Amino acid sequence: MVRLLGRLPDRVRSALAGPEIIVDGEALAVDARLLIRSLGDKQSALVVEGSPELSRAALERNAPMLRAGRRPTQAVTVSEVCLKGGQNALGATLYEPASCPGTSGALVFFHGGGWVIGSRAGYDHVGRFLAEHSGRRVLSVDYRLAPEDPFPAAVDDALAAFDDTVSRAEEFSIDPNRIVVGALTRCAGCWADRFPVYLRRRFTDRSS
């Protein structure tokens, strides 16, 4: 049923979302209100306390709630690729917007989930949105999750995937000098902290 919400008229979706919610003088978006209302049902929980396995299954099962308001777009083409990881090959999705020039800058994107849950498939709508609205290529990359692969496995995978993207930039029609990194939730803070340090060390080593 959740998959149908995005196809309903805005007036109907607003009615299903319940009363308007005002935060700091701004009205909360209808999609956010729908999500809050759905999460009131335990069957719709995105996290199951104490169980990474059940939390992952719950997130994948209820992920349509997070993208209910997104209409499918034909403006982005999608292809599956493999990138080098810290230990093994990593699955990745390359999103290419129709408006993208022959060679463009790119975003290497890592899904949210606190390094424990989530997947690039569950964040497919985010990759499409970022590619469509930025007009640039987006590489969404999977990485190892804890507790099976504890920290810093995810960071090692991210750094290796970034390096592989740079070295294969021509293959992906990406300008190697215009690659940025992005992530969601707790991962974002770590990437923002680790990547500048890593890049400084890497370029220092190359120049020495």
Each residue's pLDDT tens digit, 52-106: 888 888 777 766 666 655 555 668 999 999 999 999 999 999 999 998 888 999 9
Taking residue 96's Cβ as centre, other Cβ atoms within 10 Å add up to 19
90 and 154 co-located in one domain: yes
Taking residue 195's Cβ as centre, other Cβ atoms within 10 Å add up to 18
The three-state DSSP-derived secondary structure of 153-192 is HHHHHHHHHHHHHHHCCCCCCEEEEEEEEEECCHHHHHHH
Strands (DSSP E) contained in 4-70 are 22-23, 26-27
Tally of CA atoms within 13 A in the half-sphere of 187 that contains its CB: 29
Q: What is d(CA 38, CA 8) in angstroms, rounded to the nearest whole number? A: 16
> Domain ends where: 49, 67, 85?
67
H helix or E strand, kind and range, residue 126: helix 124-134
42 and 123 co-located in one domain: no
Each residue's pLDDT tens digit, 113-149: 888 988 998 889 889 999 999 999 999 999 999 999 9
The pLDDT value recorded for residue 28 is 80
> Domain ends where: 28, 44, 67?
67
Quote the pTM value. Answer: 0.76
196 and 107 co-located in one domain: yes
168 and 133 co-located in one domain: yes
126 and 167 co-located in one domain: yes
Q: What is d(CA 142, CA 81) in angstroms, rounded to the nearest whole number? A: 11
Q: What is d(CA 141, CA 106) in angstroms, rounded to the nearest whole number? A: 13
11 and 53 co-located in one domain: yes
102 and 136 co-located in one domain: yes
28 and 88 co-located in one domain: no
112 and 29 co-located in one domain: no
Three-state secondary-structure class, residue 115: coil
Helix count and strand count (H, E) for the chain: 7, 7
Q: Which domain holds residue 101?
A: 76-207
Q: What is d(CA 181, CA 189) in angstroms, rounded to the nearest whole number? A: 12
Amino acid identity at 178: R
Q: Write the CATH number for 202.
A: 3.40.50.1820
Count of structural domains within the chain: 2
88 and 191 co-located in one domain: yes
Phi, psi values for residue 57, rounded to 5° = -65, -40
52 and 97 co-located in one domain: no
Q: Is 204 exposed, middle or buried (0-12, 13-18, 19+ CB in 10 A)?
A: exposed
Percent over 70 (pLDDT), the chain: 76
> Domain ends where: 13, 48, 67?
67
63 and 88 co-located in one domain: no
pLDDT at 187 over 80: no
Each residue's pLDDT tens digit, 28-58: 877 777 766 766 655 555 666 778 888 888 7
Pairing of strands 104-110, 174-183: parallel
